[in-house]
Amino acid sequence: MSEEDERELFRRAVQGVRRLRQARPAPETTPKRRALAVSRRADDRSVLAESLVHDAADLEIETGEELTWRRDGVSEATLRRLRRGQYARRAELDLHGMTQAGARVAINEFLTESRALGLQCVRIVHGKGRGSGARGPVLKAAVNRWLRRTAAVRAFCSARRPDGGTGAIYVLLDG
């Protein structure tokens, strides 16, 4: 078989194949952060599964539940990049099952540690409040208030669907 025949055979074999996007590098974590992440993977999976199963009614409801905020001096372009998930998230905190008091302490510790590690963007999973009944999403509302008052927070917005949708937020920290 000639070299040209081999090339043609190869072209036919890979016809319709698309190049894979390169994976992002694994986040750098401390042993304590790794242990925390491992213990919360089951909750993350349920948030992800929840966010991937939607019908038209869910889409309408979620639209109004998005959180978005930016401090003065943070450009709309920066917020748009954050909303699109274009900042690498090197750490995450899952608040499922926590009380407001416990969640506030956990967020303060998490943000302090994240800043100490020089992290620019993190994810906080607050949930969608489905277990809160008529009160609505208690932790989500509280996180919204707390982060607006936290000087280290430059901006935050609801996460993309694969990262938890309106049950999670991306938080941009000051450098």
**Domain holding 58: CATH number?**
3.30.1370.110
Report yes or no on 46 lying in a domain.
yes
Q: What is the pLDDT of residues 9-42, one digit of tens each?
A: 888 888 888 877 776 666 666 665 655 555 555 5
Q: Give the containing element (helix H, strand E) for 47.
A: helix 41-52
- Of 8-12, 121-125, 135-139, least confident by mean pLDDT is 135-139
For residue 60, the model assigns a pLDDT of 32
Residue 58 domain-assigned (yes or no): yes
**Number of domains observed in the structure of the chain:** 1
Do residues 90 and 28 touch, judged by C-beta distance below 8 A? yes
Q: How far is CA 166 from CA 19, 32, 38, 146, in A?
A: 31, 27, 23, 17
115: pLDDT strictly greater than 90: yes
Query: Measured between alpha carbons, how far is 145 from 16 in angstroms, rounded to an integer?
Result: 49
Q: Is residue 17 part of a domain?
A: no
Q: 158 lies in which domain range? A: 29-173
Please give the average per-residue pLDDT across 120-131, as a whole number: 88
User: Do 146 and 140 touch, CB atoms closer than 8 A?
Assistant: no
